[in-house]
Each structure stands twice: as C-alpha cells, then as structure tokens.
Amino acid sequence: MRVLVTGLSSFWGGRLAQALERDRSVETIIGVSPEDPTCELERTEFVRVGLQHALLRRIVQAAEIDTVVDARLVVDSLQASPRVAHEANVIGTMNILAACGGPDSPVRKVVFKSSAHYYGCEQDDPAFFTETMRRPHPPRTRLESDIVEAEKAVDGFAERNPAVTVTVLRFCNALGPDLRTSHTELFALPVVPCMLGFDPRYQFIHEEDLVGVLRFAVEHELPGVYNAAGDGVLALSEVASLLGKPPAPILPPWGSSLAAAGLRPLGIRVPDEVRHQLRYGRGLDNRKLKAAGYSYAFTSRETVLKHAEGLRARSLRRGEAEPYRYEREVEDFLRWSPSVRRKGTV
Amino acid sequence: MSGRPALPAAPATDDLRELLPAIEPDRQVTDWGRSERVEGLLDATVYEFLYHYWFRCEVEGIENVPATGGALLVSNHAGALPPDAPMIAKAIKEEHPRPRPVHLTVEHFFKGYPGLAMLVNKIGGVPAHPANVHRLLDDEQQLVLVFPEGRKGSEKLYKDRYRLRRFGRGGFVEAAMRARTPIVPIAVLGAEEAMPIFAHVGLLQRLTKLIYFPVTPLFPHFGLLGTAYLPAKFRIRFLEPIPTDQWGERPWDDNGLVQTVAEDVRARIQDELIDLVSHRRSVWLG
C-alpha cells in the first residue's frame, strides 16, 4: 500500500502517519502540508506543498499512490481564521480531489476526514444522527457550510469515480492530552462554561480512537459515510463533574453571540459552532462503524476521564520535554545517509 | 491490503441492536439525558404525593402494558401543565409486575426554552422526532408515551373537556408500524379538571415565548401557586393493545391504513372517556 497523507502538520495527519509507519504492509508514506510536521516521523517523506492540484497530481502519479487520506479539513474555528478555513475546506478539497481523479490515476481509495459539524445543532434535531440523515436546516455558521460544501465535492467525486473507494468519516468532538481544540481550551478553564438554562448532550472521541478510526479506514474497504464517536452521550453537567470542575453559566440564553464577543478579550473563545453546541448539543449513532468491525478503545465517559487526567498532569509536564521541531537537513540525513544504521535492516 | 474481502452490505437490524452502547454502571444519566437522581427525587416527593393522596389514582387494565419489548402508549392529553404523563408513568411503576421507565415524547419547543431544556429530558422527555421514537421502540425496546393531540389537547378550554382533538397526521401509527410494536391506548380521567384552562392571553404568550399562556383557576393571579393542581379524582384505564404487525410488509406506505388505524385508536379512547365520565358521580370523589 502506498499512502499519501494530506495535512501532515495537523495533529491528525501526523499521528496517522506515525501509526502507519508501524504497519509493514504500508510501503510508502508521503505527507504533504504547507507547514512543517509537528511530530517526529521515521520513514514518512514530507513534501512541503500547498494545495495546488497540478503539483499534488504529479506527486500522486510519480509515487503511484493508491490511498489518499485527507486529514487536513479545518473543523474548529480555533485552528484558522474563517477565510483561511474556507480556502482550505472548500478550495483545498476541490484541488485534492482533482489530483486524485481521472482515468489514469493510480488512486484506489480516498479517506476523507470530516466532522459532525456537518449535521449542525438545531432545536429539532434527532437525538442520534445516523449517516443517512440530512441536516434539518441550512448551515448557520461559516464553518458548517464549508464542511457541507466540502462533503458535497467528495460525494461528487465518488459518483464520477466508481472504481475508487471513498470513505467519509464524520468525527464528533475529540479530546485528548495532545489535542488543542475549542473544547479542550474551554475545559482547561477553572470552570466549565455553559449556557444558562441548558444542559446539552455531548459525545466525545479520544485522540487515540481518532487515529485508530482513520487507520481502520485505510486498512479496510469502507465505501460511504461513517460517524465516528465514542459510545455514550453525556450531559454537559456530567462532563463537568467528571472533570471535577463546577459548571458556570457564562453565556446567557438570549444575546449569547454578544456575550461570546465580550468574553473574547478575556481569552475565552466561544466560536459560533461551539455556542450552538452549548445550547442544543448533539448525539451521533456510531453503530455503522462498529458494525463494520471497528471497536472503540474509549467511551465518551472514559475519554473525558482520560482528558481530566491529562489536564491535571499538564502543568507538571510543561517544560519537561522540548517540543519537536522539524529540521529538513536533519531529517534528510536520517533518511538517506548511508552512515545511518536503520533498525531492522542491518 | 486491497485483496481483503469486501465487507458485507448493510447489516440486519438485529446486529445493530446488539451494537447499542453498553450501559456504564457509574453513570446516572442515560444517553437520552435522563437523570436517575432528578427523576428519583421528583418521583419520591411530588409524584408520590400526587399519585396516592392528591389525585388518588385508580388504575385499570395494567396487564395490557407488555412486560417486555417496545410498546407505544397513546393517551388523551389535558391540563395547562398536563399531569397525565407523570401519572401514567407512575401507574406503571406502582402497579405493573415488571415496572419499566416510560419515555415521553415532547415538542421540540422544550429543547429550546432555557430552564425547561435542562429539566424536561432529565425527567424522561424525548423530543418527538420520528427517529427518536423509532430508536426507543425498535432498537432499545422501550415504552414510549405519545399524546397525538399534542398541544391542541393541553391548550383546549374547559368547555371542550374530554372531547379529543385531531390525532395529528397519524405519525404515531407509522412509528409503531415501522418498529412492529403494539399500540396501547390509554384513557385518563381527571386531568381535565386538575388544571382547567378558561382563556388564553395572547400578548403574554408572545412576551414569554411559551407555547401558550393560560388563565386557570390559580394562574396567573396567584403566581407560582398557579402550578398547583386541583384535587380531581384520577382514573387511568389501559386498553387492549393493538398489534401493528398484522398488516403485512411495509403497511406504513398505505396512507389510508395509517389514517384508519389512527382514527380507530382515537375512537377507542373517546368511547372509554365517555364511559368513564358517565359512571363518575363526583369530579373530586370519583
């Protein structure tokens, strides 16, 4: 198997590449990203390239890539400004699909990492979204409409290329000691922010499962859309007690967007999609992926407990280990120099 | 890797049922947001008092509620703050040999109203989405209580008491058919008199954004006291279950059949109500 991972610098891309490196059946792993990788990689080859489809196509053709994992989608307003997110999510997806398509393309499988923000959060939502359900209303936030549009492009690609297995994975909110999302930031506060008069339902996936699901999709034939979310849906009050923090209604039920804007100078960022979640919450039906054979390592509750452990240890770990920094010369030396003795080969 | 055999197509429903999340014993809240603690507290205090001493509930036909498997309970609906739902749930808890929790379908309005949004799903309310009802009935094999009249039932005026409103569009029949679960009609006597509505105040409804703003014997002039019920005598009669797997494959595609069954359920409940009212000597003493 010859794999191309986009968004190698993102947490998901980097972690997936690390996981694939351990798999001997994966011959080649190529990571592309406009930024440097953020985690240590052994045999993954990194190519710094933007989202130009002509360049990507040349890489795909030259390396005879058969599996493309698109782990680059911006699913959190914390990661990028709305304009950058739009560029990456809509235009970027289009370009990557353009690089994978065509009659002479060696690509046989595309794994697309999407988000449960596809479904949105509304008053008249079902309690558990299944993959076949449409969102009841048009997207209300920019991020959501970008994700919907990106998925539409993937859907079109799957239709035009019936020989390619296209897997779309809709992930719920992820938590873990190494992840940084809007929710991990909010849960790191001394109180758990909530909206007055609401106790929304929340589902979480552990960062290990996140990587596990991506890897599972690479190794199996999973055509279609799959929800990825840990077992169990928690109430936010339950999350607060698992984290050992008091819930604090910092957002009023009316005028919450103004309040969220007012909190920003204080360093508390509540993006629109999080605000909707704090009001209505969301649950996913995760049984399709389980029926396909994946078993989650952590339930939602265990994920929050693990995250709480990580939060408590965070201050102690700070400054312990030097964060990884990518140096092209060093990486090239380690990979290609004849003087380096490689594990397992000599 | 590409030589791996392709996975089977869509798995059977039974397989999916087995894949429901396991129950985590340390949790006190279900995946629906139902809280044992809040519900237990309310049950041990308010419901206990109302059921035994205030409404002095009398129950008939409890054996018509199946002990296992999903079932759709369908009842008439009345009272500004309808007391019928908690009394039916309490009746099953108190009288049934194998008590089970009852999930009550509520309007989406409750999920959006601050305060109520927190409370309603804690005490067993589930938004009335067809997918929710199907998951409860078919996948989780639970008891689901619906009021097909909806708010048309609870907002109707005292002069219209015990006259059933239209039974929606038959969505509840379709839900039961899809899940192949029986429908258990229920006739409740007493809820109409417990908190009767004499008039509606449109302006205050718009200001409070509630679904309606009623004038009852104690509300709004006595403020919070207005949430108190009058001590009407309650009779809850569970009627014989109507099986929904008797009409072959995909009966829900037949709109006419769905409407007929809905009308039949409505007629049965209406007949029982007329019977109950005609045998009642006193509203307060029964």
Q: Say yes or no for a CB contact (<8 Å) between B108 and A1.
A: no
**% of chain B residues with pLDDT over 90:** 76
How many domains does one find in chain A?
Answer: 1
Distance in angstroms (rounded) separating the CA atoms of residues B70 and B144: 8
For residue A123, which residues of chain B lie inside 8 Å, CB to CB?
108-109, 111-112
Find the CATH number of the domain harbouring A122.
Answer: 3.40.50.720
What are the CA-CA distances from residue A226 to residues A121, A221, B268 (Å)?
A: 18, 12, 44
Give pLDDT, residue A79.
84
**Do the bridges between strand B102-106 and strand B143-146 make them parallel or antiparallel, or are there none, so unpaired?**
parallel
A20-35 mean pLDDT? 93
How many other CB atoms sit within 10 Å of the CB of residue B159?
Answer: 9
pTM (2 decimals)?
0.91
The minimum CA-CA distance between A197 and chain B, rounded to whole Å, is 4
Domain residue spans of chain B: 31-278
The average pLDDT across A2-8 equals 94
Q: How confident is the model at residue A211 (pLDDT cuts 50, 70, 90)?
A: very high
Nearest Cα residue in chain A from B23: A232
Run of H or E residues at A247: strand A247-251
Q: Quick check: is A322 in a domain?
A: no
Nearest CA in chain A to B31: A233
pLDDT recorded at residue A44: 92
Q: Which two tokens mark B10?
A: 């869509």
Burial A284-322 (b: 16+ CB within 10 A, else e): bbbbbbbbbebebebbbbbbbebbbebbeeeeeeeeeee
Q: How far is B133 from chain A (nearest CA, A)?
A: 10
Nearest to A76 by CA among A154, A184, A176: A184
Tokens coding A232: 């169990």
The residue type found at A13 is G
Q: How many CA atoms lie within 13 A of B134 on its CB side?
A: 15
Interface test with B, best of A26, A165, A199 (most B CBs within 10 A): A199
Residue B54 is given by DSSP the state: I
Go through chain B and tell me how many residues it has.
Answer: 286
Please answer yes or no on whether A280 and B31 come within 8 Å at the CB atom. no
State yes or no: pLDDT of A54 exceeds 60: yes
| A65 in any annotated domain | yes
Q: Is residue A226 part of a domain?
A: yes
Pick the CATH number of B31-278 from 3.30.300, 3.40.1130, 2.60.220, 1.10.3470: 3.40.1130
pLDDT at residue A344 in the model: 52
DSSP annotation of A342 reads: P
- Chain A residue closest to B112 (CA)? A123
Does residue B37 belong to the interface with chain A, where contact is any CB pair within 8 Å?
no
Mean pLDDT of A77-96: 91
pLDDT over threshold 70, residue B228: yes
| pLDDT attached to residue B14 | 58
The overall average pLDDT reported for chain B is: 90
- In DSSP notation, B107-146 reads -THHHHSTTHHHHHHHTTEEE--HHHHHIIIIIS--EEEE
pLDDT at B243: 95
Q: Is the pLDDT of residue A136 over 90?
A: no
- Domain extent, residue A201, equals 2-315
* pLDDT given at position B5: 39
pLDDT at B10: 44
In angstroms, what separates the C-alpha of B30 from chain A's closest C-alpha? 8
More confident residue, A239 or A339: A239
Query: DSSP strand E in chain B: where?
Result: 58-60, 71-75, 102-106, 125-127, 143-146, 183-189, 199-200, 214-215, 235-238
Provide ipTM, 2 decimals: 0.89
Tokens 């014997």 map to which residue?
A: B217
| Both structure tokens of A333 | 């030396």
**pLDDT tens profile A320-332:** 667 788 888 888 8
| Predicted confidence (pLDDT) per residue in A248-295, tens digit | 999 999 999 999 999 999 989 999 999 999 999 999 999 999 999 999
Backbone angles phi, psi at A88, to 5 degrees: -70, -45
Q: Which residues touch B256 (CB under 8 Å, ≥6 apart)?
A: none
pLDDT tens, position by position, B86-107: 999 999 999 999 999 999 999 9
Is the CB of residue A16 less than 8 Å from the CB of residue A75?
Answer: no
Q: Cα separation of A222 and A204, whole Å?
A: 22
Do residue A220 and residue B7 have CB atoms under 8 angstroms apart? yes
pLDDT > 90? residue A106: yes
pLDDT the model gives residue B6: 39
CA angle B221, B224, B230 (to 5 degrees): 80
Q: Residue B248: its pLDDT value, please?
A: 87
Chain centroid to CA B34: how far? 15
